Chains A and B, each alone.
Chain A
Amino acid sequence: MNAQTPLLSGNDLTRHYDITGKRFGEKLSVKALQGVSFQLDKGETLAVVGESGCGKSTLARLITMIESPTAGSFRIGETVVDRDTGKPGKELRAAVQIVFQDPYSSLNPRQKVGTILAEPLLINHPEISRADREKKARDMLALVGLRPEHYDRYPHMFSGGQRQRIAVARALMMNPKVLVLDEPVSALDLSVQAQILNLLVDLQDEFGLAYLFISHDLSVVRHMADRVMVMYLGRPVEYGERDEIFNNPKHPYTKALLSATPVADPEHTKQRLKLEGELPSPINPPAGCAFHPRCPVAIDRCAKERPDLEAVAGRDVSCWRAGESV
């Protein structure tokens, strides 16, 4: 894969959900995702951060082809997927796999671990013999740090961390190129989080996986990410290298997010940037910059015109005042 064609790239991805309003059956649409572009190379981790309802999980559902985009497209290797592509083929589906947030609901309670791991192979490669399937599943079990005797157990016999290992193992059974991690550790204990994150780092090194890492935990993102995309109400507001964004955030929303991260240092006195108000409704996003009603540095222009992502200080920011030192 050369530098010109990234492994995975999104181009203006948009997803609206049509709903029927309460009054007179008016047609409304929830603008869950609006014009998201990004690219991801082999062995790289792109972290997507933002608060609940900002479209992170919608992005994950589009990339894993659970849903198709309303507009825009994304590209896996040389293959372009958009709303007109129709049903994606098995090859394409296998290239992107997903690990969900809650390991208690992402494993079928009626299937044994061995069955869960072998199922993707059974579906996509029915020509593989039963013995080979079992061998591959057992190898994968060892790879994610579980013992061979776990093969014949049911999910409810495992702890949250072990379940998440099983979920990772299942995602890797198809040898995917991209792994979408939808808040993979936020349901786990802190000590277990570290184990799973280390496992993910090891697997990335071993297989050259690309991670689309969705999270709202900035300390985890700092540990994992190569690049970071901050989202607000369905749009990226800041997108760039991890260190640039963490050390010198330009968008006021990013600043607020970073200032809300707890720091384990009693001497550290921080100036919290507190955001007022709630996330606006994605049915009726505010005019202009979607962030302006809560923005501490908003000016008149913010309510009228929406800023596009523009390169400022080595990253892309969508803010009229990004160039100023406010």
Chain B
Amino acid sequence: MTDTTAVSTANAAPNNQAPVGPWREFWAYFSENKGAVAGLGFFVVLVVVALLADFIAPHDPIEQYREHFLVPPVWVDGGSWDFLLGTDAVGRDILSRLMFGARYSLFIGCIVVSGAAVVGIAIGLFAGYLGGWVDTVAMRVMDILLSYPPLLLALVFVAILGPGLENAIVAIAVIQLPHYVRLTRASVMSERNRDYVTSARVAGAGTLRLVTVTILPNCMAPIIVQAALSFSTAILDAAALGFLGMGAQPPLPEWGTMLAEAREFILRAWWVVTFPGVAILVTVLAINLMGDGLRDALDPKLKRS
């Protein structure tokens, strides 16, 4: 089904040579997609910047320079080399805030994706494998979650739990849950009647082992892609909640919150809104490109061989 040697190595190997590792095979497919590699590159840069923000950011993100309100970026008249991307309405350096803000965005993405994925996969596995009333109950609950506009539902959760970054994360994780449950359930249902599952059962494997050891690894490809793509959705939703004042609270340099604070200066000082917006745009774009590449590399139906 998958001829691994053909693409990954130039000197195509004879059959008895050592097998090509799954990572090499994955990279061979992934690197064919230039956009995906670019996305991955930007994402790595973003991670490095976020990790090293303490050392490379020129200023403290919440330090207010009273004599430098709304300084434009350096290449505009009146700009200063002290503030490369200018300052906001209370004199904070926008570049530094964006660098520290990357931490929040990545943190939100990681926590939301891992939380929603773990819980969603667990529910989906058992709903798909056990079927019957477990399946019905789980799927109807997921249908209810899906039937609300996602941002509205997140707003409701935050309104109940109270505004703040942690509650925003919980709310976003909950609204992403149904996607993982449905995806996992569908994969499990198509895998559970395959012969290798039956033979594991004949060998005496219990339900827990069948579900986690036998079936789950064969369902991972679409889930990984979903995780990559929903990482960007999580960042967007967190920014939207921040913009609406329900997510991260000032003075945290979260990108959505920065946008919200800058709203009234859109006409007077374009840089205050533009740069956080561009940061969100480029990050989400990079992650989406990366997710597309992941999908191409992990979906056997798209492989040529």
* Interaction A to B: yes
Smallest Cβ distance from B149 to chain A, in angstroms?
36
- Chain A residues whose CB sits within 8 angstroms of the CB of B4 once the complex forms: 156-157
B132 within 8 A of A: no
> Interface segment, B69-77, B200-208, B258-266, B281-289?
B200-208
Whether B194 lies near A123 (C-beta < 8 A) is no
Whether B209 lies near A123 (C-beta < 8 A) is yes
The residue from B16, B194, B199, B204 contacting A90, defined by CB atoms under 8 A apart: B204
Whether B195 lies near A100 (C-beta < 8 A) is yes
Smallest Cβ distance from B238 to chain A, in angstroms?
34
A188 within 8 A of B: no
The residue from B198, B199, B201, B214 contacting A170, defined by CB atoms under 8 A apart: B199
B31 within 8 A of A: no
Whether A120 lies near B203 (C-beta < 8 A) is yes
Smallest Cβ distance from B235 to chain A, in angstroms?
31
Q: A110-B217, A110-B218, A153-B19 are in contact. Are A102 and B203 (CB under 8 A)?
A: no
Distance A259 CA – B201 CA, assembled complex (angstroms):
39
B27 within 8 A of A: no
The CB with the most chain A CB atoms within 10 A, among B16, B198, B203, B217, is that of B203
Distance A171 CA – B199 CA, assembled complex (angstroms):
9
- Chain A residues whose CB sits within 8 angstroms of the CB of B218 once the complex forms: 108-110
> Interface segment, A91-99, A137-145, A242-250?
A91-99
State the main secondary structure of chain B at its contact with A. helix
B196 within 8 A of A: yes
A119 within 8 A of B: yes
Distance A157 CA – B2 CA, assembled complex (angstroms):
8
The residue from A93, A106, A157 contacting B195, defined by CB atoms under 8 A apart: A106
In chain B, positions 14-36 with a C-beta closer than 8 Å to chain A are 16, 19
B2 to A, closest residue via Cβ: A156
- Chain A residues whose CB sits within 8 angstroms of the CB of B203 once the complex forms: 93, 97, 119-120, 123-124, 170, 173-174
B10 within 8 A of A: no
- Chain B residues whose CB sits within 8 angstroms of the CB of A66 once the complex forms: 198, 201-202
A176 to B, closest residue via Cβ: B202
Smallest Cβ distance from B282 to chain A, in angstroms?
35
Q: What are the interface flags for A106-133 relative to B under an 8 Å C-beta threshold, 1 for contact and 0 otherwise?
A: 1111110000000110011000000000
Distance A9 CA – B217 CA, assembled complex (angstroms):
38
Q: What are the interface flags for A247-265 relative to B under an 8 Å C-beta threshold, 1 for contact and 0 otherwise?
A: 0000000000000000000
- Chain B residues whose CB sits within 8 angstroms of the CB of A102 once the complex forms: 195
Q: A154-B19, A156-B1 are in contact. Are A108 and B214 (CB under 8 A)?
A: yes
- Chain A residues whose CB sits within 8 angstroms of the CB of B194 once the complex forms: 105-106
A275 within 8 A of B: no
In chain B, positions 82-98 with a C-beta closer than 8 Å to chain A are none
- Chain A residues whose CB sits within 8 angstroms of the CB of B200 once the complex forms: 108, 119
Smallest Cβ distance from B20 to chain A, in angstroms?
10
Q: How many interface contacts (CB-CB < 8 Å) are there between A and B?
A: 67
Whether A124 lies near B204 (C-beta < 8 A) is yes
Distance A153 CA – B195 CA, assembled complex (angstroms):
20
Distance A123 CA – B208 CA, assembled complex (angstroms):
12
Whether B204 lies near A105 (C-beta < 8 A) is no
Number of A interface residues in the complex (CB < 8 A): 35
- Chain B residues whose CB sits within 8 angstroms of the CB of A104 once the complex forms: 1
Distance A105 CA – B19 CA, assembled complex (angstroms):
21
- Chain B residues whose CB sits within 8 angstroms of the CB of A124 once the complex forms: 203-204
Q: A105-B194, A153-B19 are in contact. Are A65 and B204 (CB under 8 A)?
A: no
- Chain A residues whose CB sits within 8 angstroms of the CB of B195 once the complex forms: 100-102, 105-106
A61 to B, closest residue via Cβ: B198
Smallest Cβ distance from B284 to chain A, in angstroms?
31
A107 to B, closest residue via Cβ: B196
- Chain A residues whose CB sits within 8 angstroms of the CB of B205 once the complex forms: 119, 123
Smallest Cβ distance from B131 to chain A, in angstroms?
15
Whether B204 lies near A123 (C-beta < 8 A) is yes
Whether B196 lies near A93 (C-beta < 8 A) is no
Smallest Cβ distance from B223 to chain A, in angstroms?
14
A73 within 8 A of B: no
Distance A66 CA – B202 CA, assembled complex (angstroms):
7
Smallest Cβ distance from A15 to chain B, in angstroms?
16
Q: A106-B195, A108-B218 are in contact. Are A98 and B19 (CB under 8 A)?
A: no
Q: A123-B209, A156-B2 are in contact. Are A98 and B199 (CB under 8 A)?
A: yes
Whether B196 lies near A64 (C-beta < 8 A) is no
Q: What are the interface flags for B203-241 relative to A under an 8 Å C-beta threshold, 1 for contact and 0 otherwise?
A: 111000100001001100000000000000000000000
Distance A167 CA – B218 CA, assembled complex (angstroms):
19
A90 to B, closest residue via Cβ: B204
Distance A109 CA – B195 CA, assembled complex (angstroms):
11
- Chain B residues whose CB sits within 8 angstroms of the CB of A170 once the complex forms: 199, 203
- Chain A residues whose CB sits within 8 angstroms of the CB of B217 once the complex forms: 108, 110-111
- Chain B residues whose CB sits within 8 angstroms of the CB of A107 once the complex forms: 196
Distance A102 CA – B196 CA, assembled complex (angstroms):
10
Whether A94 lies near B196 (C-beta < 8 A) is no
Distance A170 CA – B209 CA, assembled complex (angstroms):
17
Whether B19 lies near A120 (C-beta < 8 A) is no
24 intermolecular pairs with C-beta atoms under 8 Å apart: A64-B202, A66-B198, A66-B201, A93-B202, A94-B204, A96-B202, A97-B202, A100-B195, A106-B194, A106-B198, A108-B196, A108-B218, A109-B218, A111-B217, A120-B204, A123-B205, A154-B19, A156-B1, A156-B4, A157-B19, A167-B199, A170-B199, A173-B203, A174-B203
Interchain residue pairs A-B with the least CB separation, the first 10: A106-B195, A120-B203, A110-B217, A100-B195, A108-B196, A105-B195, A123-B204, A105-B194, A124-B204, A64-B202
Q: A100-B198, A119-B200, A156-B1 are in contact. List 4 more A-B contacts (CB 8 A).
A: A100-B195, A105-B195, A120-B203, A157-B19
